[in-house]
Structure 1
Amino acid sequence: MHSANRPLSMNERPRLLIVDDERGVRESLRAILQGECEVLTASSGDEALAIVGREPVDVVTLDLKMPGLGGIGVLERIKEIDPDIEVLIITGYGTIDTAVQGLRFRAFDYISKPFDCDHVRQLVQSALARRAAARRMKSLPDQILSSLSHEFRTPLNVIMGYSTILQEDGESLSDEQRLALDRIRSNSDALLTYVETLFYMAELDRGALAVDVVPVRLSDVLGKLRSELGSGAAEKDVMIRLDVSTGLVLATDEDKLTRLLRALLDNAVRHTPQGHVVVTARPASGGATLEIRDSGPGIAPELIVETEDVIAGRTGARPPRQLGFGLRLAARLVRALGASLTLVGGPDGTTCHLVIPDLAAADAPHVAYGG
Structure 2
Amino acid sequence: MKTIKNNPAQKPSGMEPEFPRGTLLVVDDEEGPRQAIHMIFKDEYRVLLAGDGPTALEIARQTPIDVAILDVRMSGMSGLEVLERLKAIDPKIEVVMVTAFETTDMLRRALRLHVCDYIHKPFDVTTIRQAVQKAMNRRLAQEDRNQNARARELENELLSIQMGEQLSRLRAELYAAVLHDMKNTLSIVSGYAQMIALRLSGVTEPTPSDWAMFKKYFSDINQHLTNSVELARRYLADFTHWVDAGSTTQVNRVLRDLEAFVCFHPAARNHKFTLEPLPKELEVNLSRTELFQLLLNIVLNAFQCTSEPHQVWVQGFVVSTPLDLLSIHETPFERMCNLEGFDNTPPIAVVQVRDTGPGIPEHLLPRIFDGGFSTKPGHGAGLGIMIVTRLIKRARGALHVYTKPGEGSAFTIYLPAAFVD
Fold conserved (TM > 0.5)? no
Structure of higher RCO (CA pairs closer than 8 Å, 6+ residues apart) = 1
TM-score when normalising by structure 2: 0.35
